[in-house]
Amino acid sequence: MINHSTLSSALIKILIKNKEICFAGNRRLKIYGSLNCKSGKRMKKENRVFFKLENDALKNGFRPCGNCLKEKYKKMDLFNTTTGKNHNLLPYGGNVSYFGKLFTQDVADMYFDVLWKTVEWKNDEAFIMGKHIVTKRKVAWYGDLPYSYTYSRASKTALPWTPELLELKKIAEEQANTSFNSCLLNLYHNGDEGMAYHSDDEKALARDSAIASMSFGAERKFLFKHKETKETISTFLEHGSLLVMAGETQTHWLHRLPPTKKVNRPRINLTFRTMDI
């Protein structure tokens, strides 16, 4: 392994021509790929390392790039979505655990119905490029105190917990092994409604605190994209399931709920959070 910062541009060209350098890697993220990979071109010089052989990269704990070495990346079976709190869906830069279904079908159906009827849903609002936008998707904001939460330049004041939300909060806290003081809920009426790539990194939230995402209703695809390498990871969120994002996930990764024409049923999502108070 050779550090880019120790080589001159002229020497790098000679080593590439003589095939002494055949692969490049990101020392911080522990990823290696081809020399012409688009992700690698965006890398900072101090993070880049070079390898002659792929085995050299693998021996140093580097993983294949998901963009330029897709087949080798898939064979690593890095992202098996087997349920379990010890399985991290992310290869680096954060921790995402998918717990799968926590409830039986009947109990999950019951919670969906109660949330649909008792939560004070309102159409979400945002200010984008100076325009006031009201979404079809509906939201609600609950918490221990009337916290003010601002995102997309629109503010909300937390409502008092309902009995059912307190029950679900306790379950999420037990699984995530942490405590939460607030919850943002989203109601998607069908697959036409989704969420663009974003990070839950607002200043009002405790830095690197866990976010527990509980889903009821239609099963939907959920995506992660690394902010620097642009790698993407996908999973499916089932009816009555829990996914927990922790550590530096919000710092290094974006996530989204992509729209789809294949889903015509509603979905309710609860994201339990910790306000920095």
Residue 59 sits in a domain whose CATH number is 3.40.10.10
To the nearest whole number, what is the mean pLDDT of the chain? Answer: 88
Average confidence (pLDDT) over 254-273: 97
Tally the domains of the chain.
2
Whether residues 119 and 222 share a domain: the answer is: yes
Assess if residue 244 is contained within a domain. Answer: yes
Q: What is the pLDDT of residues 54-64, one digit of tens each?
A: 888 887 778 88
Structural domain boundaries, residue 30: 2-68
Residue 61 lies in a domain: yes
- Both 135 and 234 in one domain: the answer is yes
Tens-place pLDDT, residues 190-229: 999 999 999 998 888 998 999 999 999 999 999 999 999 9
pLDDT cut 70: percent of the chain above it: 90
Together in a domain, 49 and 114: no
Specify which of 14-18, 83-87, 105-109, 114-118 reaches the highest per-range mean pLDDT: 114-118
246: domain CATH number is: 2.60.120.590
- pLDDT given for residue 29 in this prediction: 73
Do both 54 and 124 map to the same domain?
Answer: no
Do 59 and 99 sit in the same domain of this protein?
Answer: no
Whether residue 41 is predicted with pLDDT greater than 80 in this model: the reply is: no
**For the whole model, what pTM was predicted?**
0.72
SS (H, E, C) the chain: CEEHHHCCHHHHHHHHHCCCCCEEEECCCCEEEECCCHHHHCCCHHHEEEECCHHHHHHCCCEECCCCCHHHHHHCCCCCCCCCCCCECCCCCCEEEEEEECCCHHHHHHHHHHHHHHCCCEEEEEEECCEEEEEEEEEEEEECCCCEEEECCEEEECECCCHHHHHHHHHHHHHHCCCCCEEEEEEECCCCCCEEEECCCCCCECCCCCEEEEEEECCEEEEEEECCCCCEEEEEECCCEEEEEECCHHHHEEEEECCCCCCCCCEEEEEEECECC
